[in-house]
Structure 1
Amino acid sequence: MSRPLDHGTSDEFRANRHLDVLVPTRNRPAELAVTLSGLAAQEGVPDFGVVVSDQSDHQPAYAHPAAATMVRVLRHQGHPVLLTRRLPRRGLAEHRASLLAASTAHYVLCLDDDVWLAPGALHRLVTAIEELGCGFVGNAVHGLSYLHDVRPETHRHYEEWNGPPVPERIRPGTPQWERALLHPAANLLHVTERLRLPPGSWRAYKVSWIGGCVLYDREKLVDAGGFDFWRRVQEKHQGEDVAAQLAVLERHGGAGVLPSGAFHLESPTTVTEREVEAWEVLLEQA
């Protein structure tokens, strides 16, 4: 039997690090272990911490031996890990807002609990946001069960940035909104294979929003309102990440980064009550 897992404290965790990874989780011990294992395999970004905020119905996911082991591995590598519980649940946006408040790092990576990051992905994202100077960069997640489902009609939505991203006001019904069609299934992986990039190179491309793995300049995210809009939407919502990214795009710009090192575990969602889209509510209120 393993010994009890130290949860850490907020005061000890808060520091002026280069990067913190923010992971919300609920009822996903196996997936969380895989997600944390991807973080433990990252190189070239030595100064990062990890916050795991759990909303499981019973024992927290990080208490599972596999997840707990990866917490210990990360700490052994020198990465601070803070383990918290956020109960009662008040919706996805409130959960993300609490995670953001736990960090004082320069950059924050919002990473879902069902995403495995390939080695080198985190270094590439940090390099991209430092060079581009925008509000966020992200890796759209690949669904490898769709590897042989090629959808060439979606590839036309791939458009690279020539120079630093500029602020964009993106709304439904515009051509820019259709960029999101590039990200489902394995579409982005197929575009990447077609481009045949030299080893170590990357490209920044135009997006409307990215799900699952988004690296923000924390100050720019806060400047755009962060996730504080959680009080303006009902608890049973989705699309909180879209709402935050639309706000950051409008003020500071953003980009997708290709190749993506984010792979979706394709597990069933644990958010089954999704009565409203947060971004729709906020756009109606604007």
Structure 2
Amino acid sequence: MLVPTRDRPDALAVTLTGLAAQSAPGFRVIVSDQSTAPVREEPVVAAAIRILEHHGHPVEVHRHVPPRGMAEQRAFLLARADRPAVLFLDDDVWLDPHGVAVLAHALGALECGFVGFAVQGLSYRDDLRPDELVPYEEWRHGVRPERVRRGSPAWARHRLHNAANPLHLARKHRRDERSWWAYKVAWIGACVLYDRRRLVECGGFGFWPRVPPRHAGEDVVAQLRVMERYGGAGLLPSRAYHLELPTTIRDRDAECYDYVIADEGP
């Protein structure tokens, strides 16, 4: 479990206690801390760490400063991972207790590069957006590699993850007792389980020196690359819930896509 964090100790504590309640055994947690004050010294975070360790999950908290952008922070975390699968989980996401187990099972069953839960904001649970649900399409015969680029029809899939759209999609498309099913995505933010070897093979987040320190969309670049070679999928119903706090990345003028993907050939 790879968790980047910066100046949100209360949210991080919620995220970590959500991990402590997971039914899946045998994982460890690595936190990259770029907070103004060391986050491990915050009582709520220290308590959450003790709970995780009490449940048999080792926790590493790395003080990783100065900040050099999210791509570099994710590259730092990935370099410290050694398990076959890595879950990048943002510090403002609560996972259902079976979330990790479902992700791990789906990644093995689908044999693709990544799977993920689009986070849903439950304050929007009554905000139905039919137009944004139009690009939805399930993977019915296995996940296949696909090339997704800005301006293509597949790019419109990013709207599927706005507000509480994952909740509404799950309600609309559940037809049987399936515990999960896969659908096509443009990318997924905040809760993504990768096949580590395949992510590294596709470059991971090693492009970080090519982008300005203040940037956004680093996960988009990584996922487009993995998807093109190995495929990727979203899972429904989503078991990830957004805490709906203000973003810590306020400057979004520099999109990693423009510095990395836009210049790549076919």
Q: Place the TM-score, normalised by the shorter chain, in its bin.
A: over 0.9
2:26 to 47, 59, 72: 47
Superposition map of 1:128-207 within 5 A:
128-199=106-177, 201-207=179-185
Which letter maps to 2:40?
Y
Which letter maps to 2:34?
Q
Superposition map of 1:80-99 within 5 A:
80-99=58-77
Q: Deviations over 1:20-50 (max 9, x none)?
A: x00000000000000001101110x211000
Q: CA deviation at 1:197?
A: 4.9
Q: CA deviation at 1:65?
A: 1.0
SS at match of 1:276: coil
Superposition map of 1:220-239 within 5 A:
220-239=198-217
Q: CA deviation at 1:275?
A: 2.6
Aligned residues: 264
**In 2: Cα distance, 1:271 partner to 1:219 partner:** 28
SS at match of 2:15: helix
SS at match of 2:51: helix
Which letter maps to 2:113?
G
Superposition map of 1:24-103 within 5 A:
24-43=4-23, 45-57=24-36, 59-103=37-81
Gaps of 5+ in 2: none
Gaps of 5+ in 1: 1-20
**In 2: Cα distance, 1:194 partner to 1:284 partner:** 35
- Aligned-residue RMSD, C-alpha: 1.1
SS at match of 1:283: coil
Q: Deviations over 1:58-109 (max 9, x none)?
A: x222321111111111111111110101111111100000000011110000
Which letter maps to 1:48?
F
Q: CA deviation at 1:198?
A: 4.3
What's the % identity of the aligned pairs? 55
1:122 to 75, 100, 119: 100
Which letter maps to 2:212?
Q
1:218 to 196, 202, 205: 196
Which letter maps to 2:86?
V
Aligned to 1:253: 231
Which letter maps to 1:68?
A
TM-score by length of 1: 0.90
1:278 to 224, 244, 256: 256
SS at match of 1:123: helix
**In 2: Cα distance, 1:175 partner to 1:62 partner:** 44
**In 1: Cα distance, 2:150 partner to 2:219 partner:** 15
**In 2: Cα distance, 1:271 partner to 1:64 partner:** 22
2:220 to 242, 251, 255: 242
- Asked if structure 2 preserves the Cα contact closer than 8 Å seen for 1:32 and 1:62, the reply is no
